[in-house]
Amino acid sequence: MKAVIQRVSRAKVTVGERVTGEISKGFLVLLGVMDGDTEEQMKLLAKKVSEIRIFNDENDKMNLSLSQVSGSVLVVSQFTLCADVSHGRRPSFTPSAAPNAAKDLYEKFCKEIKNLGISDVQTGEFGADMKVELLNDGPVTIIMNTDEWMKK
């Protein structure tokens, strides 16, 4: 699984005119599910997201986690994170998981974040054409890839 974590002051997802998820202080998580990703990887990623310390403490040092700042999470499924751009000019999306498998792990990821103590978890709409608005705080953007972690 791949994720882009952005520390935000606010973020919102709309489908058409309908807001599907909106948060203030917290993380916007763009989540890409790869073919072959497992529940073990999903749980590992959810734990890492919920515990990463990238909010500033009283000394202006990135030292606080999401729960320590009462932050929220907005999770948006993004299969384009799985693109293979190694050949030619047109990305290949064959590394992405099939839609049913990806949706299952996406939904489980959102539930796992809640199970790890983050009470406000908002979402986009899986498979929809979404518009994402955000105010990146910092900016702070972290890329996570469970395939890299599993190799170590």
What is the tens place of the pLDDT at every residue in 93-110? Answer: 999 999 999 999 999 999
The band of 152, judged by pLDDT with boundaries at 50, 70 and 90, is low
Assess whether pLDDT exceeds 70 at residue 118: yes
| Averaged pLDDT of the chain | 96
- DSSP H helices, 69-145, are 99-115
Burial 85-112 (b: 16+ CB within 10 A, else e): eeeeeeeeeebbbeeeebebbbeebbeb
- Ramachandran angles phi, psi of 40, nearest 5°: -60, -45
Comparing C-alpha atoms, which of 91, 98, 147 is closest to residue 127? 98
Catalytic residue among 6, 78, 122, 146: 78
Domains, in order of start, for the chain: 2-145 (3.50.80.10)
- Residue 126, CA distances (Å) to 56, 86, 108 in order: 32, 26, 13
pLDDT of residue 151: 72
Region 19-46 average pLDDT: 97
Catalytic residue among 20, 27, 55, 79: 79
Name the β-bridge partners of 77.
31
Catalytic residue flag (residue 80)? yes
pLDDT of residue 150: 75
Pair of tokens at residue 21: 């998820």
pLDDT of residue 147: 83
Catalytic residue flag (residue 78)? yes
Contact 104, 88 (CB under 8 A): no
